[in-house]
Amino acid sequence: MAEIAARPFDFSFDKDALALLIIDMQRDFIEPGGFGESLGNDVAPLGATVPVVKRLLDGFRSGGLPVMHTRECHRPDLSDCPPAKRERGAPRLKIGDTGPMGRLLIAGEPGTEIVSDLAPLPGEAVIDKPGKGAFFNTNLTNHLSSTGIRQLVLAGVTTEVCVQTTMREANDRGFDCLLATDATESYFPAFKAATIDMIVAQGGIVGWAATVDEILEGLSRG
């Protein structure tokens, strides 16, 4: 097996079992006027990750490796958005309210679309998820099983919420996970740093972490 230089130790991978999973790089979290900004956050740090994620994405595409994208969004009638989620955070606009990019975090609205620089190509799976983790109430497990994927490189936003939740869910389901540290971001820098430390602690109890340069270098040798 080939290897990627990573923390806490090198990540061994099989190209036939490896895929890139990009979490929630959608307008509602990354652009002004979306849900992220409605929570009082500065979205600029998330937007700054787009070129880095694109470089990782291009590397997987050029290598003919599978790519998957997620979008956090809900049904228009909010039947899959419990009050325990909708009422949290004291946002200026809640999930389902109308903002500059349509109804916030509602499937089919402009704000739920993945930013144009990272738009999925035909054949790339797009997983719409109603929760923080990509495995909750989605077909992701079946999709991975049917395609023989056992190892995931993760990127996207936010590091400590949807990315980490998905990584922990994947680990519990037996997947090896590698986080691309400069292709993920948080509204809170300290939260990102703490999340990466938690992931690689105790011998990689959740998974591995590496930079995009390290990942692309490993793929080129694999």
Q: d(Cα 78, Cα 76) in Å, to the nearest integer?
A: 5
pLDDT band of 1, cuts 50, 70, 90 = confident
CB-based contact 35:88 (threshold 8 Å): no
In the structure encoding, which two tokens stand for residue 47, read together? 């937007």
% of the chain exceeding 70 in pLDDT: 100
**Other CB atoms within 10 A of residue 40 CB:** 11
Q: Which among 54, 129, 132, 192 is annotated as catalytic?
A: 129
% of the chain exceeding 90 in pLDDT: 96
CB-based contact 134:164 (threshold 8 Å): no
- Whether 177 sits among the annotated catalytic residues: the reply is no
Mean pLDDT of 20-40: 96
Residue 215, classified by CB atoms within 10 Å of its CB into exposed (0-12), middle (13-18) or buried (19+), is buried
End-to-end CA distance of the chain: 8
In the structure encoding, which two tokens stand for residue 76, read together? 């228009």
**Other CB atoms within 10 A of residue 168 CB:** 18
30, 8, 6: which is closest to 158 by C-alpha?
30
What are the CA-CA distances from residue 56 to residues 19, 166, 172, 175, 200 (Å)?
12, 19, 25, 20, 21
Q: d(Cα 162, Cα 195) in Å, to the nearest integer?
A: 11
pLDDT band of 18, cuts 50, 70, 90 = very high
State pLDDT tens for residues 116-158: 999 999 999 999 999 999 999 999 999 999 999 999 999 999 9
State pLDDT tens for residues 69-116: 999 999 999 999 999 999 877 778 899 999 999 999 999 999 999 999
Q: Which domains does the chain have, with CATH numbers?
A: 2-28+47-74+120-221 (3.40.50.850)
- Whether 85 sits among the annotated catalytic residues: the reply is no
Q: Which among 81, 162, 176, 192 is annotated as catalytic?
A: 162
| Mean pLDDT (the chain, rounded) | 97
Q: d(Cα 32, Cα 45) in Å, to the nearest integer?
A: 12
- Within 8 A by CB and 6+ apart from 61, the residues are 67, 121
